[in-house]
Amino acid sequence: MIYNYLISDYINRENYRSHATSHKKSELKKLYSDIVKVSKDSPSYLFSPTKETQMFALQLKEDSLYLQNTLANLQKTDEGSIFSSKQVRSDNTDALTTTIDSEDYSNLPEPFTIDIHKLATKQINVGNLLYSSTAKLGEGVYQFQIDVEDNSYLFQLQLQGKTPNEEAIEHIVSAINQSSAPIHASKLYKNNGEKVQIKLWSDNTGSTDGNPIFICSDVSHPYGTPGCVEYFNINNIAQEPTNSSFSINGEEKSTIANEFTLNNTLHLTLHSPTASPVHIDYENNSQKIMTEIDTIADTYNRLVHLSYNQGNPPKLAMKMQHDLSRIFSQSKSAFEDCGIAFNEKGYMKVNTSVATKAAAEGKFQNLFGSKDSLGGKAIIQFKNFAINPMKYIEDKVMVAYPNPQRENFANPYMTSIYSGMLFNSYC
């Protein structure tokens, strides 16, 4: 068929297909009725169905349908819809960051203030400071154990001859860091490397019962030689694990970690103590809204670009540009307040910083969030573009014009000749 090439060319258009949804029979019937209505009042034309003409008609239809879907998506009010999506706001992100872990916003805590008194701390062990080149550990097999809560991790070292302190510590550090134990180790130098000591620290913070997070102990060692833990004093706790301390709306709280979740929905991460309360509240999810706004701008600009490339000279291109600009012209000030402007050629430009702020404040919801809003009216206009794109085709020869004094014969497939393809994205 004459449109097979066009359909195959557009069938993989990711930006439209990923957005398309299935339609009810009632919706298809309404669409057909609209086509019939247009056909009764539209003239009949003859035109040359060139490849360029066909491409223009199909692109105008596809982009118009895509804009309809995008605008309709903004009008949804069910759970998880664009304008019902929330994001949390902290007025001190250096001290505290927050994220929402659920789309069930009914369980979110009410806006609150939080004072951070103290962060939860890790356990840190620091061993004896020894001369790097001194070798007191004899040859043989050394075993030691680290107990972390209910788990035990066994380590074994095979030392050859008299091993300098620095080298022995390197073996211990490597063994711990390569294991699955939630403990890390490093060697610390003092006096320009003349002395060395071992340092261990836990992944976890805090303590539920005041006990250490981990305990180190020797298991076995060669006769007459101290074990690794004893010799390097690996079990020496330099910093006890402590819990965080903070208050929410004046009520004192404490957790073993600096990350926790309230009401199974709001995740908080503490970064530093605060001198004044941090205020936590909610606003519209500007990131999700901006994704839709950028989509609207990109698709609308494709239509404007299409109008400039239709016809030579582009007589009807001016009509298409006029009809496009008329869709949003009555809300120019509202658009500008949301960071959106139209340049001298009619292209839509989005000021990201202003638009993101407007999205968070709910201004876009006033523009596009209901059927009575500008978005609802725009859907009707883009629907007209999709139903009869041949209205903007150049070099047509009118062969019949409906008599306005009587009802005319309905010839829906003459509306644009290609009208049956209107269903290629619905089926």
Handedness of CA 209, 214, 220, 221 (dihedral sign): negative
337 alpha carbon, distance to own chain's centre = 25
- Provide CATH 3.30.70 ranges for the chain: 122-239
Q: Which string of b and e fits 239-271 if b means at least 16 CB within 10 Å?
A: eebbbbbbebeeeeeebbebebebeebbbbebe
Phi, psi (deg, nearest 5) at residue 269? -125, 120
Residue with tokens 């979740």: 261
Quote the strand ranges of 290-345, DSSP E.
Answer: 340-342
pLDDT (tens, 9 = 90+) of the chain, 427 residues, equals: 333 333 434 443 444 444 445 556 666 677 667 776 766 666 767 777 677 777 888 888 889 989 999 999 898 877 768 888 889 999 999 999 999 998 888 889 999 999 999 999 999 999 999 999 999 898 999 999 999 988 999 999 999 888 999 999 999 999 999 999 999 999 999 999 899 999 999 999 999 888 999 999 999 999 888 999 999 999 999 999 999 999 999 999 999 999 999 999 999 999 999 999 999 999 988 999 999 999 999 999 999 998 887 655 455 667 888 888 888 887 888 999 999 999 988 899 999 999 999 999 989 998 998 888 888 889 988 888 888 887 777 777 766 666 555 554 555 554 444 444 444 444 3
Selection from 236, 198, 235, 226 nearest residue 136 by Cα: 226
Among 192, 175, 193, residue whose Cα is nearest residue 133:
193
Among 48, 47, 46, 51, smallest CA distance to 4 is for 51
pLDDT for residue 330 = 78
Q: Do 257 and 205 form a contact (C-beta atoms < 8 A)?
A: yes
Tell me, rounded to whole angstroms, the distance of Cα 324 from its chain centroid.
31
- The pLDDT of residue 165 is 95
Q: CA separation (Å) from 239 to 46, 153, 208? A: 88, 21, 16
Does this model's pTM top 0.75? no
pLDDT (0 to 100) of residue 318: 77
CATH 3.90.1580 correct for 122-239: no
Phi first, then psi, for residue 399 (nearest 5°) are -110, -15
